[in-house]
Amino acid sequence: MISQTEENYLKALYNLTYLKGEASVNEISKRLEIKMPTVNSMMKKLSEKGFVHYESYKPLKLTEEGKKEAALIIRKHRLTEMYLVEKMGFAWDEVHQIAEQIEHIHSPEFFTKMDQLLGYPTVDPHGSPIPDHNGVMRSESYIFLDTCKTGDAVTLMAVQPSSKELLQYLSAKDLELGTTLTILSIEPFDNSITVNYGNRISEVLSSKVTATLLVRPIS
Amino acid sequence: MISQTEENYLKALYNLTYLKGEASVNEISKRLEIKMPTVNSMMKKLSEKGFVHYESYKPLKLTEEGKKEAALIIRKHRLTEMYLVEKMGFAWDEVHQIAEQIEHIHSPEFFTKMDQLLGYPTVDPHGSPIPDHNGVMRSESYIFLDTCKTGDAVTLMAVQPSSKELLQYLSAKDLELGTTLTILSIEPFDNSITVNYGNRISEVLSSKVTATLLVRPIS
DNA sequence: CTAACAAGTTAGATTAAACTAACAAAATAT
DNA sequence: ATATTTTGTTAGTTTAATCTAACTTGTTAG
Ligand SMILES: [Mn+2]
Ligand SMILES: [Mn+2]
Ligand SMILES: [Mn+2]
Ligand SMILES: [Mn+2]
């Protein structure tokens, strides 16, 4: 049996290792706001259980089993977020904290039902992919808006990372997933960009914002 | 802050004291399948926190605050069961275990939303009343089917206690809440009764079953 | 290259929630 | 009225999950 606490560590490690393939005790400690010695012992425990490759002073990695476990928890998290938005009418900035709790519910039937009712969605309300029931996550090929050039036309596909404040900011600006933006200019001094979308003729987005927006160029 | 574990003790105590007003360490121990010394220390802790009146060797009672806390957890449990049946399509015998977990979610918005979407229901799928948001539970005036006489016509209002097996048995016999039954005869030997309802001309219900069915006589 | 700093580890303490063993009180049966 | 059984309590142990303090290893800046 795997505890709620252990699940949160696995998920943190999965998310931290998603890009580089490895993470440090220190990073998990900061992410979960738990002191390093506690993280250290938990990593040893998860290593005993076969979920983590642990060696003193070496970076941490998930085992294949650990990756699958973590992905299945993330699946429950993202299905829940989607359900809360699509079926219960919550806004995209209200669902993360609730999903953080519901992801730990033990009931395959409950999540299977959600999946069905939603029509087997592949992304959550923030555009992040939902792993399948085997824990396999489709990899995205989107690019960050701050890597685009003047004149590019792109579609907003995902927001990452998606803090509550950022999501509220985007809503206030009528920026939602699927919105098509055209880059009118890029300010070299601070890398802020001016864009055009919907009936917004000229909106300025700071680099702090554009660094979180994943887009697909219009082919 | 009140832990998930403490919530389960409060709920058990609430349900056990619902009729008599008091309960014993032994009863909670059996109900939760937790040994008596553990229950004993927990009762002292809950007494420290102001939820339980504890005195050595005396029966246990909830304080007013304890009653309210417990009723609010039961509210979350029953709202959840109703939501699972009405909005997600679960059967009435599939929802208790899921609700047993979801009742511990901390999110007023989540349960308020459920309540709204359900149209402010007053009973759960098994006919038990849902406490209001102040923890006040409407008291029922139903009677058990095994107290009725030959010739009585009654409407099935609730099933209590509602084990999974009993609920499945009732479904198989097409007995659901709202069904109107007429008592054709009562067998004095074992108190089984023969009833008529819907297009079932003559069904026999054992006293084990009739002792769980709460009904309202047709006026 | 070494001194200083950052990151990782070990050791030991704390709290919550469970247990068993042993004893005490209350209830029940003879 | 006493003996037996059931119920309740106390004491002490265990495991999970956290912490702080102190020490070790690794990294980085002069
Ligand atoms: Mn989320
Ligand atoms: Mn979580
Ligand atoms: Mn229930
Ligand atoms: Mn519960």
- Return mean pLDDT, chain B: 97
Q: Is residue A11 part of a domain?
A: yes
Q: Do B97 and A105 touch (CB under 8 A)?
A: no
The CATH number covering residue B187 comes to 2.30.30.90
Assign B219 a pLDDT band (cuts: 50, 70, 90).
confident
Cα–Cα distance measured from residue A145 to residue A218, given in angstroms and rounded to the nearest whole number: 13
Q: Is residue B197 part of a domain?
A: yes
3-class secondary structure, A1? coil
Range(s) of the domain holding residue A148: 143-217
Token pair in block for residue B100: 């047993």
Ligand 2 ion: nearby residues, β-carbon < 5 Å: A 8, 100
Q: Is residue A74 part of a domain?
A: no
Closest A-chain CA to B101: A105
Q: Is residue A130 part of a domain?
A: no
Q: DSSP per residue over chain B, as a string?
A: ---HHHHHHHHHHHHHHHHHS-B-HHHHHHHHT--HHHHHHHHHHHHHTTSEE--TTSPBEE-HHHHHHHHHHHHHHHHHHHHHHHTT---TTSSHHHHHHHTT---HHHHHHHHHHHTS-SB-TTSPBPP-TTS--PPP--EEGGG--TT-EEEEEEESS--HHHHHHHHHTT--TT-EEEEEEE-TTT--EEEEETTEEEEEE-HHHHTTEEEEE--
Closest ligand by atom to A5 CA? 2
CB crowding B134-157: b at 16 or more within 10 Å, else e = ebebeeeebbebbebeeebbbebb
Q: Chain A contact for B55, CB < 8 A?
A: no
pLDDT digits over B136-159, tens only?
Answer: 999 989 999 999 999 999 999 999
Residue A188 has, within 13 A of its CA and on its CB side, a CA count of: 0
Q: Is residue A101 part of a domain?
A: no
Cα–Cα distance measured from residue B4 to residue B12, given in angstroms and rounded to the nearest whole number: 12
Q: How many Å does it take to go from CA B24 to C1' D1?
A: 28
Q: Do B110 and A98 touch (CB under 8 A)?
A: yes
- Kindly list the strands in the beta sheet with B193-197, ordered across the sheet, starting from the edge strand earlier in the chain: B143-144, B213-217, B153-159, B180-186, B193-197, B200-205
Question: What percentage of chain B carries pLDDT values higher than 90?
Answer: 97
Question: What percentage of chain A carries pLDDT values higher than 70?
Answer: 100
Q: Is residue A115 part of a domain?
A: no
Q: Chain A contact for B4, CB < 8 A?
A: no
DSSP A56: T
Q: Do A101 and B105 touch (CB under 8 A)?
A: yes
pLDDT digits over B52-105, tens only?
Answer: 999 999 999 999 999 999 999 999 999 999 999 999 999 999 999 999 999 999
For residue B32, which of B56, B13, B51 has the smallest C-alpha distance?
B13
Whether the pLDDT of residue A219 is over 90: the answer is no
How many Å lie between the alpha carbon of A81 and the closest alpha carbon of chain B?
Answer: 12
How many Å lie between the alpha carbon of B1 and the closest alpha carbon of chain A?
Answer: 16
Assign A177 a pLDDT band (cuts: 50, 70, 90).
very high
Token pair in block for residue A207: 């680099």
User: Tell me, what's the pLDDT at A11?
Assistant: 98
Interface test with A, best of B5, B7, B98, B118 (most A CBs within 10 A): B98
Contacts of A114 in chain B (CB under 8 A): 88
Query: How many beta-carbon pairs under 8 angstroms link A with B?
Result: 38
User: Tell me, what's the pLDDT at B110?
Assistant: 98
Closest A-chain CA to B100: A105
CA of B105 to the centre of ligand 2 (A): 11
Q: Give the residue-averaged pLDDT of A10-26.
A: 96
Q: Do B98 and A117 touch (CB under 8 A)?
A: no
Q: How many helices (H) and strands (E) does chain A have?
A: 8, 8
Q: How many Å does it take to go from CA B184 to C1' C4?
A: 93
Whether the pLDDT of residue A19 is over 90: the answer is no
How many Å lie between the alpha carbon of A40 and the closest alpha carbon of chain B?
Answer: 26
Indicate yes or no: strand D within 7 A of the C-beta of A149: no
User: Which nucleotide lies closest to B32 by the C1' atom and the CA atom?
Assistant: C18
Which of A47, A62, A77 finishes a domain? A62
Which of B62, B86, B103 finishes a domain? B62
Indicate yes or no: strand D within 7 A of the C-beta of A5: yes
Q: Is residue A113 part of a domain?
A: no
Number of structural domains chain A divides into: 2
pLDDT digits over B12-55, tens only?
Answer: 999 999 988 999 999 999 999 999 999 999 999 999 999 999 99
The CATH number covering residue B56 comes to 1.10.10.10
- Return mean pLDDT, chain A: 97
Which of A62, A82, A99 finishes a domain? A62
Assign B204 a pLDDT band (cuts: 50, 70, 90).
very high
Q: Please state whether the predicted TM-score (pTM) of the whole model is above 0.85.
A: yes
* Minimal Cβ distance to B88: which of A90, A94, A113: A113
CA of A160 to the centre of ligand 3 (A): 39
CA angle (A179, A181, A184) in 5-degree steps: 165
Q: Is residue B177 part of a domain?
A: yes
Let me know: does B95 contact B125? Beta carbons within 8 Å.
yes
Cα–Cα distance measured from residue A52 to residue B118, given in angstroms and rounded to the nearest whole number: 44
The residue written with tokens 């409060």 in the block is B10
CA of A109 to the centre of ligand 1 (A): 21
User: Which nucleotide lies closest to A27 by the C1' atom and the CA atom?
Assistant: C7
pLDDT digits over A74-130, tens only?
Answer: 999 999 999 999 999 999 999 999 999 999 999 999 999 999 999 999 999 999 999
